[in-house]
Amino acid sequence: MASLIGVSSSPYPTQTSHFPPSRSNSISSLIQLKRDSAQRLLLLRVSCSSRKVEDAETESEPKVVLSNTSADTSISAYNWCAALGGVGFLETSYLTYLKLTNSEAFCPVGDGSSCGNILNSSYSAVFGVPLPLIGMIAYGVVAVLGIQLGQKRMPLGIGEAYGRLLLLGTSTSMAAASAYFLYILSTQFSGEFCLYCLASALLSFGLFISSIKGLGSQEVQKEVGLQLLIVLLVVSTLNNSYSASQPTNTSSAMTELEYFTTEIKSPSTPFAISLAKHLRSIGAKMYGAFWCSHCQEQKEMFGREASKLLDYVECFPDGVKKGIYMANACQEAKLEGFPTWIINGEVLSGEKKLSELAELSGFTMNELTEAK
């Protein structure tokens, strides 16, 4: 019995001796597991925060690149404005020289006369100011603004924002004028070609696009009202100028009329010859048209010999054609009808008797009594 108890009691000490360590191990394992979990959570948080920092840095990098790209685009647009403005300045300077010297333009395309017909037409001046001169000033302003904005150095204390608006306004007016002139070319000069006119229009449109890129689409949208106002002012000014410059004596039946000469049949008196010489010596001019019957009658008053001595200006030397009206000298004189005399700076419209012309010009002669 005792042996059985002894044998059977031997396991208990063993189980008793192993149980406490097993429980302690379980608790320590649990604590270790919690510690491992806490460390893993901490590592996950650190990893997530580091990823957020990396993502933020990654997102911030494209913004810097876009900003630089925008700045480069802006500078490039202003360089284009400076270049196109310079080319336009050279072209309009050449045309201004031709206009002021009454020289013929070199036309490399076409029959050679189209350029001259268009550049010398009534549409080549705005209220008496040569159109190439206006273009030369406009292209010069755009070229200077493009250079200054590209270098970010505006003259006269003008801010960069105002400089951009000034460039946009100038290029908008030039593009509007070019569009108006293209309409005139297609309606009034059908079948004729002017390389200088088309080149100037392309330059103006290129400047307009470049100025828009330089300012930015969002800023341009804010100034749409200003641009529309500029377009209306330009079109209205040009329309009023050309409406006022058209002669009132021409009719729709005379849209095509070839130039012809008329013979003076009456002989000249000594008084008429002396008066004609006097009028020419003081710079008096008679403006007329080959189709004008009153001009013919005025010449008949002087007679064959004296009429050839007059300083007579034919306002339609190339005939009357659609879109081509008067010579430059007649446009600058701002004639209201034919014939027109300009004596000592005084403009006199209509036929004048020889005695009137003698009195107005200060001519005195014994034959004056006979003429009356």
Residue 169 is part of a domain; what is its CATH number? 1.20.1440.130
The pLDDT, as a whole number, for residue 35 is 65
Angle between helices 11-101 and 2-9 (to 10 degrees): 10
Residue 110 lies in a domain: yes
Residue 154 lies in a domain: yes
pTM: 0.50
Are 182 and 296 found together in one domain? no
Instruction: Evaluate the omega torsion of the peptide bond into residue 339 and state whether it is cis, within 30 degrees of 0.
Output: yes
What the block records as the tokens of 239 is 């329309």
Are 326 and 231 found together in one domain? no
What the block records as the tokens of 341 is 């005399």
SS3 100: helix
CATH number, position 274:
3.40.30.10
Residue 17 lies in a domain: no
SS3 287: strand
Are 275 and 354 found together in one domain? yes
Residue 52 lies in a domain: no
Are 193 and 95 found together in one domain? yes
The pLDDT, as a whole number, for residue 66 is 35
Q: 314 pairs with which residues across the strands?
A: 288
267: how many CB neighbours lie within 10 A of its CB?
10
Residue 37 lies in a domain: no
Exposure string for 105-125, b = 16+ CB within 10 A, e = fewer: bebeeeeeebbbbbbbbbbbb
- Domain C-terminal end among 229, 245, 261: 245
The pLDDT, as a whole number, for residue 178 is 92
Are 89 and 165 found together in one domain? yes
Integer Cα distance of 124 and 243 in angstroms: 13
Residue 46 lies in a domain: no
Are 125 and 185 found together in one domain? yes
Integer Cα distance of 170 and 332 in angstroms: 27
The rounded average pLDDT for each run of 10 residues, N- to C-terminus, in the chain (372 residues) is: 39 43 53 60 48 47 40 66 92 88 72 67 82 92 87 72 85 92 83 83 91 78 83 90 59 65 90 94 94 92 94 90 76 85 92 91 66 44
Are 207 and 288 found together in one domain? no
Are 137 and 225 found together in one domain? yes
Give the structural domain span for 314: 270-361
Are 89 and 233 found together in one domain? yes
Residue 15 lies in a domain: no
Are 238 and 283 found together in one domain? no
Are 100 and 133 found together in one domain? yes
- Domain C-terminal end among 211, 245, 279: 245
What the block records as the tokens of 246 is 């058209």
Place of tokens 């130039």: 259
The pLDDT, as a whole number, for residue 4 is 37
Residue 13 lies in a domain: no
Question: How many domains does the structure of the chain reveal?
Answer: 2
Radius of gyration of the CA atoms of the chain, in A: 45
Are 224 and 306 found together in one domain? no
